[in-house]
Amino acid sequence: MSSKSLIIGAIVLVAILGLMLWGRPSAGANNALNQTNQSGNSSLAAAETFFDFGTITMKAGNVERSFEMKNPTDADVKIVSIVTSCMCTTAYLETPSGAKGPFGMPGHGGAATRISETIKPGESRVVKVVFDPNAHGPAGVGLMERVVMISDENGGTLQLQIKAMVTP
């Protein structure tokens, strides 16, 4: 094998490894999610807070899941923000007056995070979570775990989690 072929092979290998690492969340992002997961105490409740899409393909496009949350308390609960843990995930809040959103990852353009929605005692709302398996490009294959955080005015956070094994 010539040295030119060896060098080209090494460059291709480094490029592939770089793309794989680029699509992974950073350690700081994981630590932030773990800290958020340890907080909570939201006045809101949901029968289902986790959904596994199983194996999905990039070519099939976006997948979505709706979660119902309820105010089981005897007082109004005001939602002040909805954020996602990654730009590949957006959320919509379905209200009696229509859908609000999209809500997304703070600081990554476009998607709002602030909201003012009051849920009366005994009422419920639906949060639709949309995951785009193509958002990370070709390096975005493998296990993806994302979180949607719904914060109330008292500092409580309800977390909805999704998981998917993304294939090309």
Rounded distance, CA 95 to CA 88, Å?
A: 23
- Give the largest CA-CA distance in the chain: 76
Rounded Cα distance between 82 and 74, Å, is 23
What distance in Å separates the CA atoms of residue 119 and residue 87, rounded to the nearest whole number?
27
**Per-residue pLDDT tens over the stretch 22-34:** 454 444 344 333 3
Predicted structure pTM score: 0.74
- Helix-strand-coil percent breakdown of the chain, rounded to 5? 25, 45, 30
Say which CATH number the domain at 37 has: 2.60.40.10
Phi, psi of 14 (to 5 degrees): -65, -40
Q: Please tell me which of 6-10, 19-23, 68-72, 114-118 the model is most confident about, judged by mean pLDDT.
A: 68-72
Total structural domains within the chain = 1
Residue 76 sits in which domain range? Answer: 3-167
Locate all alpha helices (DSSP H) within the chain, ordered by sequence: 3-22, 27-38
